[in-house]
Every structure is written in C-alpha cells, then in structure tokens.
Amino acid sequence: VFVVGHDRGAIIAWFLCMFRPDKAKALVNLSVPFIPRNLCSKPVECLRAMLVYSLSMNMTAIRLRATKCFKHRRRNLGYVADAEIARLGTRTFQKKVFTYHKPEPLYKPEEGWGSRNEKITLSFWLSEEDIDYYASTFEKTGFTGPLNYYRCLDSWEFAAPWSGAEINVPTKFIIGDEDLTHHFPGMHLYLNFCALRMFVPGLQDVVIMKGVGHFLNQERAGEITEYIYNFSKQYPRNAADS
C-alpha cells in the first residue's frame, strides 16, 4: 500500500513501515517526524522535560508564564486536561486547537486557556459548520478516550524488540513552520540537518511549508494533495499489487 499519515496517524504509519516494510510501497507523513526509542527515559517523561525546556528557553514573558504554570500544576496535582476542556466547552476548545499558530508547544497557563465565550476568529479553511460537526461528534464520547491514548504513550516499551531498527520505506515528510511540533526543542536541527535520515534511511525529502500550522492538510489542501500525488507517481501500482 501507499501510506499517508498525519499527527497520531503519522506515528502509526512510521511504525507500520518499521514493523512491516513488505506491506508499504512508500510513505508520506505529515507534522510528526519519527522519534526513535530513548532507552534512558520513557516517552511521557521526555515530553514533560521537552515542555519545561522549551518554555524556559523562550522569551521572558513565556518563561514567567511557564513558571506560574508549573507552580500552579504542582499545587494542583489533581488537575487533568479533561476538566479544562469541559470548562471551556467542546466548541471553544476545538477552535483554539485548530487556530493555534504560536511558535511554542501547547501548554496550559495558570489562568487557563481562556473563557467559554471567548471570541475566536476561524481560519479561512475552517467554518462554523465544521466546528459544529466536530463538536457534536466529541460531545457524544468526550475527550478522555483520545487523551488516554497520549497518557499511554509509554506502551512504546512493547516495541523494545525493534530498538535500533530503521525505516527504509521510501518516505517524504512534510511539516509547517508554525506547527507546534516544529518548535519542540531540537526539532529544527533534527529536520534541517537531515538527522531524521539517520533513523529513516528511506527518507527522500523534507518539506517545511511557510506560514502553515499543524493542520496543514486542511490549511493547504491543494498543495498537500499535489505533494502526495507527485510522490505516489514514483511508486506506481503493479500487477503484483492486485
């Protein structure tokens, strides 16, 4: 198959191509690069450390907000993201996520993520009807299930037999320069100096799109489609695939 992934789907696609390269003809992944196993710490620990480092290395205003944030979190260990999302309401929370274009990771400051009635201007590619649909869907299930998927990232340890394994499937990686994942500590060097290719020898190209956030497949749908289509033409379907 020709595989395309975005966000969590990108992580699944990376591992599909590592576990079963015989099943993947080629791969286009968006937003989330392949991160190899760290034998010294677990994924959730790494993410916490990266967030603290990223905020502490940013401008003074962000550093002050971060200090307040982590003091607040330490005093309120019972805090969970589920409660903050419930306070904001599904519509407001999703508007904030879809319109996030700051050059820093997403985090919750002490004062919270704003108010339920906050006016948020939607991007040209996102309509109120889209938000209505997404909100009605998540209101049926809530966010706890999806959030638990992130809380269980340490299940990565089940992939221990593949430590050091490479991804040799022909790959194209695309990310926006305003994507929050692009501003994780060290990510610029990881992508711009081809360090990703050390773990993904099949990497053919890295595209960093200017002025684009995390939802690049929606923000620049035409360009993304063209990138995918042109890459797929290099790996045509043959009779054996039928």
Which amino acid appears at position 44 of this protein?
Answer: V
Of 204, 199, 171, nearest in space to 37 by CA: 199
7 has catalytic annotation? yes
53: annotated active-site residue: no
Burial of 123 (0-12, 13-18, 19+ CB in 10 A): middle
In the set 6, 179, 182, 214, the catalytic residue is 214
Rounded CA separation 51/192 (Å): 21
Q: What stretches of the chain show up as alpha helix (H) in DSSP?
A: 8-19, 43-57, 60-75, 81-88, 90-98, 128-141, 144-151, 187-192, 196-199, 216-219, 221-232
Is 22 labeled as catalytic in the residue annotation? no
Selecting among 79, 149, 150, 229, the annotated active-site residue is 150
Side chain identity, residue 175: I
Q: What is the DSSP string of 149-165?
A: HHHTGGGGGGGGGGTT-
> Looking at the annotation, which residues are catalytic?
7, 150, 214
